[in-house]
Structure 1
Amino acid sequence: MRDGLGDRRYAALGGKTPLQAARTPTLDRITRDVAHTISLRPNRGRIFEENLPLRRVADQALCGLKEIISGGQVITFEDQMTISEFEEHRLESILKKFCDEKGPPPHIRDQLQWGFRINPVQQTVELFEIRPYFMDANRKIESKFAKAAYVKTSKIWKVYWMRGTGKWTKYDPCPKVKTIEEFLKVVKADECHCFFG
């Protein structure tokens, strides 16, 4: 790793250093999945090295290296970047407002409400219904109905709906949108009755 990453432990971080407390899904994935031997091409954000220690692989990612080829598999750091914490908070605010304003009315929310889930690593947003389990009112069940997956390279969100088979399916009437706000408009309109049946 680069010099300067060492630091002091802080009580506010549970006795960890800032690096230990940081969320590092990209580096975690690299060190878990990348083999010791990698092949990198020059002039395209790549370099050629063999028997490269995993700590050097992580080091290359911090230095701005774009791609690693390992065992015939190309790992593109730019595509594997997660949703930033700032963007995650922005999405949470938009999704919460959508579920509160466009979802079931307040007087039935003990029986039916909308929820959402953001996966920063997979860069996806899911919407689902929450209702009591019919055999146990204290148990809640989720029924997913819409999903958006961000594609960093083209800066678009792909739109999916949940089939009765339990599989996500591309929403053909509007397969991609530019913003999460557009995605929510598509879901609410539900012109083909895919999201809500």
Structure 2
Amino acid sequence: MLEKVAQIFKLQHRNQHLYVMEEKQALAKARYYAMEYVEENRPPLHLRDKVDLGFSLDNRELRIFEIRPVYNDPEIKIESDVARAKYIKSRDIWKVYWKRANGNWEPYRPGGDSEVDDITEFFSLLDEDKYGAFWG
């Protein structure tokens, strides 16, 4: 009986370890592709003090944003959100959101089905911007 319990515990521990590894890999992949996307889409060097592109990845949430100076004080920079992808660990998917003018995040696709299986699909949606939600 104890042997059986030990086997079950080992299996559960192994599955949980794999589950954590999948999450780490998904987030590492997201960071890599976000860096690549930002570098490919940043404005030319001479314009970056006026407008730039950045990203953050915190708590399974990837944000893409524009960076601009405040209109009356160019030394102060503000971030304006463009898009967000949230990793859902239990389903190994990403939910995609866009930000309304009122500051609320909304699912990207009409009807709320805003899930992608791979983070690269998120960046494809950003490029395509079929509904004009991200870039206007």
TM-score under structure 2 normalisation?
Answer: 0.76
- The one of 74, 83, 105 equivalent to 1:168 is 105
Q: How many Å apart are 1:132 and its aligned residue? A: 0.8
**1:96-135 correspondence runs (5 A):** 96-119=35-58, 121=59, 123-135=60-72
Please give the secondary structure, in 2, of the residue aligned with 1:90: helix
Q: How many Å apart are 1:184 and its aligned residue? A: 0.6
**1:17-36 correspondence runs (5 A):** none
Q: Distance in 1 between matches of 2:33 and 2:62?
A: 11
Q: Percent identity?
A: 34
Unpaired runs of 5+ residues, structure 2, are: 1-7
- The one of 175, 181, 195 equivalent to 2:120 is 181
Please give the secondary structure, in 2, of the residue aligned with 1:191: coil
**1:84-103 correspondence runs (5 A):** 84=24, 87-103=26-42
- Per the alignment, residue 42 of structure 1 pairs with none
Please give the secondary structure, in 2, of the residue aligned with 1:165: coil
- The one of 73, 76, 80 equivalent to 1:136 is 73
Larger Rg belongs to:
1
Unpaired runs of 5+ residues, structure 1, are: 1-44, 46-62, 65-76
Q: How many Å apart are 1:87 and its aligned residue? A: 4.7
TM-score under structure 1 normalisation?
Answer: 0.54
Matched residue type, 1:115:
G
Give me the CA root mean square deviation. 2.8
The C-alpha deviation readout for 1:107-160, integer Å capped at 9, x for no partner, is 3112111110101x3x11111100111111111100011000111222211110
Whichever structure has more strand as a proportion of its residues is 2
- Per the alignment, residue 28 of structure 1 pairs with none
Equivalent pair of 2:53/2:67 in contact (CA under 8 Å):
yes
- Per the alignment, residue 69 of structure 1 pairs with none
Matched residue type, 1:153:
S
When residues 189 and 106 of structure 1 are mapped into structure 2, their CA distance, relative to the original with a 3 A threshold, is farther
